Chains A and B, each alone.
Chain A
Amino acid sequence: MTISSPVLRNSMRLILPLMLLYALYAMLKGHNEPGGGFIGGMIMATAICTYRMSHGFAAQLRLMPVHPRVLIFLGLGLALGTSTVPLLLGEPFLRSAVGVFHLPFSGHAFHYASAMAFDLGVMLVVVGVGVGMITQLSEELE
């Protein structure tokens, strides 16, 4: 379902990078503040679907050259993997490693948590599911 509106086409060029960037920001912010993998993934899926609306399916394939199934696999695998690793270390499932990481030259402190990998996995799943769902449904309608 492509909408051939020049306004949308041109503004999309501007909006798409912003939306993708904001999606990443929302995902990373989610550890301590509102946000998280689900929200980030939703924003990213919306961006990709809007891009498809303005530029067509071929353009979407160029932007996301993998089948949504692969994203779902990678995301679920990553989430499941990061939550299973603690089992091997004698810790309960889903236990997150937290700590502070100092950047080598500038000395900036960087707070990290292994739960971030889990969030990244969630984001991949949500992007895969969202895009896959819209693609399937709009193929049916076309």
Chain B
Amino acid sequence: MELENFIILFIVIPMGTGVIGVLLKQRVHIARVLGVLSFLATSALAIGLLVHLRSDPAGILVSQMGAWPAPFGISVVFDSLSGLLLAASSLVALACYVHSFSTVDPVAEKRYFHPMVQLLMFGVNLAFLTGDLFNLFVSFEIMLMASYCLLTFGGTRLQMTQAYKYVLLNLVGSTLFVIGAGLVYGMTGTLNFADLALFVSERQARGEALPPGFAALSIALLLVFGLKGAIFPLWFWLPDTYYTCNVSIAGLFAGMLTKVGIYAIARTFPMIFAHGHSDAAKVVMPLLAISAAFTMFLGVLGAVSHHNIRRILAVHVISQVGYMVFGLALMTRVALAGCLFYMIQHMVVKSCLFLCCGIVERHTGTDDLDKSGGLLKRDTYLAVVFFIAAMSLVGLPPLSGFFGKLVIIREGWRESMWWLSIFGLLTGALTLLSMLKIWSYCFWSPSGESIERTPANMPNTSSLRPAYIGATLLVCVALFLGFGAQPVYEIAYRAGEQLAAPEAYIQAVLGPEVIENLARARAESAALATAAVEVTP
């Protein structure tokens, strides 16, 4: 049995569970058990493969769908980047799914809630695994379709009116993506990531220019991915969206959706659209840097100004995305590794905070900071979980956020982007401020203790048990990412290396011959260059 072929299970398992879930519309309990098993299986598979790949010199597993050779068929690639993201996303999905058992409306749950969560993860996993641009589009669409449905779940008036912003904006973005994919095919004749990377590397090795319009195309795709990833000028859809839906779903979205957009940038830009010192890179890199600064800083200012827990957390997603874009803007291997590490820790921590917010809402009946308080005494366990997650988000030293930020900010300093690093440090301080705001209003302030404990705001603990399990699971993962940062960072560093020097990826997908050709072309052009230097004097 070939191990490579089994990476497709990341797609097959959620899809199969979703398909069965369509039939189990009324049998909620079986659907729940199956869903949990599916997420457990994908997380175990991802972690197992990651551990296995640590001892593997190549470190990339490739499966060609239908045994069609690489640039023609569909390639599915599992490398360190996809592996880490798959592991983190499966764990986050597991926790949010378990949490949703205590928050989802029982009537709405029978309307295909379980298949939709599975299909969302089907899309997310496919996005992380796929090896070509068009399947990336398809996976985005699957994911978005499921997210539209989950967003309007319950169908309240507020949800209906707010959903249009998200749905229409993403539809326009998707259309732009189709046009972009078509243009890429028109210019290069291929859509496979490895083949595209080879195309760019070959041109650069021979000293030829990229096709005219390649830079414009890069910007168009950056626009598409930036819209999904909510980076600076394109983040306006995010706060309203996460505000209206079910809180477990908001946690899942906060963990997944923006990160898939960032992943798409991380996968395609260092390898293809901004590789080396092409014209496209000269336009894209400053754009990314400016966007990173604005995303970080404006996002956190928005968070400081809000006064609802959910709004603060939602706007915070934007500010944290800024750090990832900061890592991408530097595009060195260390920065990419830091970006990846930050991405997975942010998925875990941010979802955990949303899950805590769900429990807080059940305790106080609202997420308005003025109306809540005194939770430290009422629910000490929740307070501890929230505090650990909040401090991980801020990045206090032994916790996970610290390592990601440290790597990115130090690399920014070294790459003479010191102004971005200063923005990063400032943002960190303001993040601390906004988290302490939630902490002091919601947990520390004694005001809420005077609130009478009526049956309405005194939830029975047994219905909240899944919620606590979900939050606990994520906080454990966050603690592991903090105290066991070394092995995770090693994998992330390997992913950064693979992105910065795409030869390993190209070789894994297209075979060793093309790499030899590439090396020969490089040697020839180097020889030509030295000959030219000898002739000129």
Contact = CB atoms under 8 A, between A and B. Distances in A.
Chain A directly contacts chain B within the complex, with at least one CB pair under 8 Å: yes
Interface stretch (A10-18, A30-38, A47-55, A68-76): A68-76
Per DSSP, chain A at the interface is helix
A103 B416 CA distance: 74
B15 A80 contact: yes
B16 A92 contact: no
A127 to B, nearest CB: 15
A93 B2 contact: no
B23 A69 contact: yes
Contact of A95 (B16, B22, B67): B67
A87 interface: yes
A56 interface: no
Contacts of B20: 73, 77
6 contacts: A86-B5, A87-B9, A93-B5, A94-B65, A94-B74, A95-B67
Contact of A96 (B9, B16, B25, B66): B66
Given A92-B5, A93-B12, A73 B19 contact: yes
Interface residues of A, number: 17
A113 to B, nearest CB: 11
B67 A70 contact: no
A76 B63 contact: no
Contacts of A77: 19-20
B67 A90 contact: no
Nearest to A88: B1
Interface of B: 1-2, 4-6, 8-9, 12, 15-16, 19-20, 22-23, 25, 63-67, 74, 76
A95 B6 contact: no
A94 B229 CA distance: 31
A65 to B, nearest CB: 16
Contact of B65 (A69, A76, A80, A93): A93
Contacts of B25: 69
A96 B67 CA distance: 9
B63 A93 contact: yes
B23 A93 contact: no
Contacts of B8: 87, 92-93
Contacts of A86: 5
A60 interface: no
Contacts of B67: 91-92, 95
A56 to B, nearest CB: 26
A130 to B, nearest CB: 16
